[in-house]
Structure 1
């Protein structure tokens, strides 16, 4: 079990601040955040994370590549493993989803 209690709150705030949606700026996908702020610094492989979380390596890979959405189940598992608030992952996913919806709507709202 990895501990990331020293994660800079500013990084989290900038990555997942619900009131800060800016159509011109693409937010971080939570999978990129997972890889760049948790997996790489701790030298945890996707395979090792999958085993630790009890999920498939394919699921982890799709999350990291931005091809799968973070679910409450995934958020809970990551929260337990990394000692983070599961809401972090869900807020980041929500911000990502709103941005993608805005792009699909061609910025018309």
Structure 2
């Protein structure tokens, strides 16, 4: 994932995996509310380790796929923010 520009939030790719299954049905199978899943779907909430495991089970993917996408998204966004200069320990 190095050199990637503005990676997508994993929620944006979620619908591709759902196919014809409704968000309500997916939420029911995941054991979460439709509102919770909708927040992830629209990029308003992140994919936690717990949700990554659930998504992996639901969709036949790896939990690492979802957590990796979330981490790439979070890191890219964090790197866009200004921060104070940090001096490395090793000189």
- Tell me the TM-score range normalised by the shorter chain: 0.7 to 0.9
CA RMSD of aligned residues (A): 1.8
Deviations 1:20-59 (A, max 9, x none): 233xx21111000112x212xx211111110011101011
Indicate the residue corresponding to 2:3 in structure 1: 21
Indicate the residue corresponding to 2:89 in structure 1: none
Instruction: Give 2:56's match in structure 1, choosing from 79, 82, 85.
Output: 79
Q: Which has the higher helix share?
A: 1
> Contact (CA 8 Å) 1:29, 1:93: kept in 2 or not?
yes
TM-score computed with the length of structure 2 as normaliser: 0.85
> Contact (CA 8 Å) 1:21, 1:95: kept in 2 or not?
no
Q: Which ranges of structure 2 fall in alignment gaps of 5 or more residues?
A: 87-91
TM-score computed with the length of structure 1 as normaliser: 0.71
Q: Which ranges of structure 1 fall in alignment gaps of 5 or more residues?
A: 1-16
Indicate the residue corresponding to 2:17 in structure 1: 38
- The number of equivalent residue pairs is 85
Report which structure shows greater RCO (CA 8 Å, sep ≥6).
Answer: 1
Q: Distance in 1 between matches of 2:81 and 2:27?
A: 32
From the CA coordinates, give the structure whose radius of gyration is larger: 2
Q: Distance in 2 between matches of 1:102 and 1:67?
A: 19
Instruction: Give 2:65's match in structure 1, choosing from 77, 88, 92.
Output: 88
Moved over 3 A (4+): none
